[in-house]
Every structure is written in structure tokens, then in C-alpha cells.
Amino acid sequence: MRSFSFLTESRVLLATILGPRLLVVDFNEPSDEESPMHRYICSFNFPNMNIWTSPLHITIRSDPAPSWTPNPQLQALFSHENNDRLFVVTLWTSDGLVVKNVVLFIPASTLLTHLSHANAVGTDDLLWEAWGPEGTRMLPSLNHSNVWVCYVYGSKFVVSRPPVQAGVYPVDVYDFHQLSFRRSFQQTVESSARTNTEFVAGGTRISNTFRKEIRTCLPYRKRTIYLNNRSEIESVMCNEDNLIFVSVSFSFLFILAPK
């Protein structure tokens, strides 16, 4: 087990490099097994890896917790339902001397729908073809921070990119909220407005990493923000209605002399 996140208040989603795959474990169910890896109730398998590709590491992130509810007195601008929560699974692989990653975006609704069906029919292991192509989106080479890990909140994911020119840093905000996607897309079409928001409904194809070329189709919106900053933007994080930037500056050098 390399990483985990709560799917519901009693069920946990485990990410394991063996496969790789995602395992759902119910901690309310008694079991004689010492390891949760041996008592999962359902597994979501990745596509088969290429024979020359080696999986190195896998992480999973999702915020906030399933039991979280907004303070009604705060009247937050944006809120989410539990089924809209986004799970961001990052898989690092090695192809010879080249290390790269793919990032898999999974709404909670995709997992819960297939989990309910699997429980009903007694199916424990779901092949990639049964759950991945239509219910997820996989994108290559999104290099989010491994230290500042709050890059997902609700249905949104945020990542910074290298500067396009001196002091200008592009920041991409991905939103996988399906109802908002349909509403915003329709409003943009009707108004013929030109915005900095990209609507992506077609499939994304990933090759080389897996044995066969795969295609994922979950729609999303991507808005790009250009931040002017003198210091280097190391990372970007998000919460319910804000973006938080981590800036690194080497303008000052302190030298401590021994007494």
C-alpha cells in the first residue's frame, strides 16, 4: 500500500503499485486478515503496463473528507456534493532512464456506482475496460508538487507550469464538475463569448505507458490564469474558493558566523 484516501466515512480507497490498482476496504467489516490488502471488497484495475515500463510510485489525493460540510453561517461561494469529489491518482513509471507520470482523475460517483454494482453481483475485480474509459480522464505529465499536496479540492485540480516569459507563470485550473461543465458550455455557446476557459469533451489518448493505447472521455473545463510574480512559483494549492501560491525567493542570503 502506497497511499490512501477516504471514499466514504467507512470505506477507504487504497492505491497499490501492484497492478497497479485501487482497492476499496471497509473497516467496519470484521476480518481475520491482518493486512487490508487481503480483505478488499472491490478492486479497480489499471490497464496492463508495457513490458518495458516499470511502475515506480503511486499516490492518491482527495479533499475534503466525506463527512465534511460547509459552515452554514459562512455562505461559501462554491460547495460540492460528496459524489462530486475528485480523486487524483498519480502514477510514476520508468521507461529505461526516463521517468514520467500519468494523472488519473476519478469522480467519486464513478467509483460508488461501480462499487454498488459489484456488491450486488458479487464481482470483486473490475478490469480497466469496465470502469475507466468512460468514467475517468487520464492526462500525461502534469507535474504537481509531491510536498505541497493540497492540489485538489472538491471537483477542482490545480497545477502550475513553467513561465512562458520572465515572471509570467501560467496556472491551470481543471474542473470536473459535470453539471457545471454542461451549464458553462451551453452559456458560452449561446453568448459566443471568447474566454480563457477550454471545454474538453472528446477523448484523451495515452500510448507507450500501457500495453495498448487507451482513451478516456470524462469531460472537464480548464481555465488558465497568468500570474505575474518576481519570484519563482514553486507550487499552487486550492481550497473551496481560493488558490494558494507557494513562492520561492533567493534574493536574500544569510550567513551565520560562529562565535
Q: What is the average pLDDT score of the chain?
A: 86
When divided into structural domains, the chain yields a total of 1
Q: Element (H or E) spanning 133, and its range?
A: helix 128-135
Separation of alpha carbons 237 and 257, rounded Å: 37
Q: List the beta bridge partners of residue 238.
A: 243
Query: Is-contact 156 238, C-beta < 8 A?
Result: yes
Tell me: the pLDDT tens digits for 203-221? Answer: 999 999 999 999 999 999 9
Instruction: Extract the residue ranges of the chain whose pLDDT is less than 70.
Output: 1-2, 29-37, 70-83, 120-123, 189-195, 249-259
Residue 182 belongs to some domain of the structure:
yes
Task: List the domain range (segments joined by +) for residue 131.
Answer: 3-68+80-248
Strands 21-26 and 11-16: antiparallel
Separation of alpha carbons 37 and 232, rounded Å: 41
- State the pLDDT at residue 248: 73
- State the pLDDT at residue 241: 84
Q: List the beta bridge partners of residue 171.
A: 160, 225
Residue 225 belongs to some domain of the structure:
yes
Task: Give the orientation angle of helix 108-121 with respect to helix 128-135, to 10 degrees.
Answer: 150
| Cα 22 to chain centroid, rounded | 13
Residue 118 belongs to some domain of the structure:
yes
Region of 218 (left: φ > 0; alpha: ψ -120 to 50; beta: rest) is beta
Q: Which three cell numbers stand for residue 103?
A: 494523472
Residue 74 belongs to some domain of the structure:
no
- State the pLDDT at residue 69: 73
Residue 255 belongs to some domain of the structure:
no
Q: What burial class does residue 185 get, using C-beta atoms within 10 Å of its C-beta: 0-12 exposed, 13-18 middle, 19+ buried?
A: middle
Separation of alpha carbons 219 and 179, rounded Å: 10
Neighbours of 108 (CB within 10 A): 22
Residue 258 belongs to some domain of the structure:
no
Residue 257 belongs to some domain of the structure:
no
Could you give the angle at the alpha carbon of 12 between the alpha carbons of 222 and 201, nearest 5°? 20
Residue 29 belongs to some domain of the structure:
yes
By C-alpha distance, which of 75, 95, 96, 89 is closest to 46?
A: 89
Q: Which three cell numbers stand for residue 256?
A: 551565520
Tell me: the pLDDT tens digits for 146-184? Answer: 988 999 999 999 999 999 998 899 999 999 999 888 888
